[in-house]
Amino acid sequence: MIVNKRALGRTGIEVSEVSFGGVEIGIPYGIGVESRADMLDQAEAVKLLHAALDSGINFFDTARLYGQSEEIMGKAFKDRRDSVVICTKCKHLRTDTKQLPAIGSLRKIVDNSLKESLSALQTEYVDVYMIHDPNPEVIENQEIAEVFSEYRKKGLTRSIGVSTYTVEETRRAIESGIWDVIQLPFNLMDQRQGRLFPLARQRGVGVVVRSTLLKGVLTDKGRNLHPELKEVQQHRDLYNELLSDDVPRLSDLATKFVLSHNEVSSVLIGIDRMEYLQDALAVANGRYLDQKTLARAKELRYPDPEFLDLRRWDKMGWLR
């Protein structure tokens, strides 16, 4: 199967339009996944990673905080390293009080995190190395920028980036001129980050989109949400008017919606079942939404995007 590739901003790296989100193979994550008993074992996960690569996906996303995800990818790709583009993220840099550590301690945290990632991934370099969940203070911290830029200069990573949550974080990261790649949340319901796509393209910053399926809400798993998400459930049903023979499922619509934005380099899809891999490959077929459907999908964004806080939903137990 042919999977189209797109340029990852100014990095010179080309990535598959669909990328393999590695959180689900590392830790319990998503609707209905409560423990490791609900997850693939390592051998099955390695087999799934191989199937993804053999099917044309070359971009794989993971993080130091995704449990065994890096280790599993290391086992899967140690003999296929030249065929894959690996993105990983360092440990969180802020303390429990949300403060940055002292200068010397900060560098030690990043250094140790990268060493651990390279060891787990069984590689001498990564293709994209990111800050995980930074705030504006972290994004604009000169010492952090210098450390990451040094890794790039030494060849420990081919490019550097940040994984953001808010529009303000993304804007500052793009405008800094330092970061090559931004990973951000964007989907049918929460379209706020889309206003920055033209700026990212202008500055040569690669855009990788996560939360495309809103942690399963925009899939068949989201048909019976927690009562506290009643309004989200009702809004979710509005998208049925955009389904068709060519786009028969909500998850197809959600993925094609994001890929209809030319500024997006790749869409992260959480894949922990062979059927989900096949679904992702079938959707990323180069045929996306026409202008009329795209315009209507934009109109149907959720009216209160601040409520779409997945971390809060998870903490409240609304995703179980």
Average model confidence (pLDDT) for the chain?
92
**Which domains are assigned to the chain?**
8-215+262-286 (3.20.20.100)
Percent of the chain with pLDDT over 70: 93
Provide φ and ψ at 206, rounded to 5°. -70, 140
Partners of residue 267 on adjacent β-strands:
18, 209
Residues 6+ apart with CB under 8 A from 244: none
Distance CA 254, CA 185 (A): 13
CA distance linking residue 235 with residue 297, whole number of Å = 12
Given the residues 29, 66, 239, 288, the one annotated as active site: 66
66 noted as active-site residue: yes
**pLDDT (0 to 100) of residue 118:** 98
pLDDT computed for residue 30 by the predictor: 63
pTM of the complete model: 0.93
Q: Is the pLDDT of residue 75 over 90?
A: yes
SS (H, E, C) 137-191: HHHCCHHHHHHHHHHHHHCCEEEEEEECCCHHHHHHHHHHCCCCEEEEECCCCCC
Q: Given pLDDT bands bounded at 50, 70 and 90, which one contains residue 7?
A: very high
**In the prediction, which pLDDT does 2 show?**
75
Instruction: Give the tens place of pLDDT for each residue, 286-313.
Output: 999 999 999 999 999 999 999 999 889 9
- Backbone torsions φ then ψ of 202, nearest 5 degrees: -60, -35
- What pLDDT digit, counting tens, does each position of 10-53 carry? 999 999 999 999 999 987 766 666 666 667 899 999 999 999 99
pLDDT above 80 for 100: no
Residue 17, C-beta contacts closer than 8 angstroms, at least 6 positions apart: 3, 4, 5, 6, 259, 266, 267, 284
State the Cα–Cα distance between residues 194 and 244, nearest whole angstrom: 25
- Segment 260-282, tens digit of pLDDT: 999 999 999 988 889 989 999 99
Residue 319 has pLDDT above 90, yes or no: no
Query: If pLDDT is split at 50, 70 and 90, which confidence band does 138 have?
Result: confident
pLDDT at 133: 80
Q: What pLDDT does residue 103 have?
A: 66
Joined together, the tokens standing for residue 138 give 């972290």
71, pLDDT greater than 70: yes
Cα dist from 70 to 73, 87, 88, 114, 128, whole Å: 5, 10, 8, 12, 14
Tell me how far apart the alpha carbons of residues 224 and 208 are, in angstroms, rounded to a whole number: 29
pLDDT bracket for residue 206 (50, 70, 90):
very high
